[in-house]
Structure 1
Amino acid sequence: MLRFDPFSDLDALTRGLLTSQTGSNRTPRFMPMDLCKVDDHYLLTADLPGVDPGSVDVNVDSGTLTISAHRTARSEDAVQWLANERFFGTYRRQLSLGEGIDASAISATYENGVLTVTIPIAERAKPRKISVAHGGEQRSIQPTTVDAE
């Protein structure tokens, strides 16, 4: 199979100029992810297909969640590439966490090329109902009248 795409080099050059990312076109440029709120926690899912499971690292430091992972390059021995588009190298993504996050309870799993990170909301930051205390005696306000003379 032979692939001919005369515009791929121009497209890669344009993408490189329009983004602030550096490196060769074989270096991972981004880690696609989704982030949503589900009940009392946030759920982050990131696509990391082909990543070495032992290289996936999730840590929190000073309110910053850092995700990193590594995909190993295939061996170049006796290979005649017909298409070589998959990125290899280290992926890294950082997110700032708000003060309402319980950083000590963050958990992560990596399965079928998808990293799932559960980020719980701290108990003190969860919405709650405030009960209103009632005083013993209620005062009523009497309307005042103005005498017209």
Structure 2
Amino acid sequence: MSDTVVTVSMFERIGGPVVIDRLVESFYRRMDEAPDAIGIRAMHADDLTSTKQVLKRYLTEWTGGPKLYSPEKGHPRLRQRHIGFPIGSAERDAWLLCMRGALAETVVDEAAREDLDAALTRLADWMRNQAGNPHDARGGHG
């Protein structure tokens, strides 16, 4: 009997590059279609081709797959790369709406999907660079 523990990366758990590709395509399709995502879609270029490729490389590496992002871009420094975009609770929520829909559509392993959702939720929350509550972005009182 062996004491060897085999660790399976999230990348492998969700299905590898094919699922990453489908996830990103679904995510940006939802961003194009969801009324709640108009604000975050406006922060992106009209042509999403290069943006999709960057996110696919990032998610591949972030989930434990091959290092496709850092050799080209260096350390992700996500907050620094997004500092020019106002990201408050409303933007975080819109991003998560699109990402959760994409996860539900593409990741069949429920436990892996839940684990990935939790990690992406923490990441999205950390990306906020605007103070206040969700109503502030819509002119409410906070």
TM-score, with length taken from structure 1: 0.23
Larger radius of gyration: 1
- Give the structure, 1 or 2, with the largest relative contact order (CA under 8 Å, sep 6 or more): 2
Higher helix proportion: 2
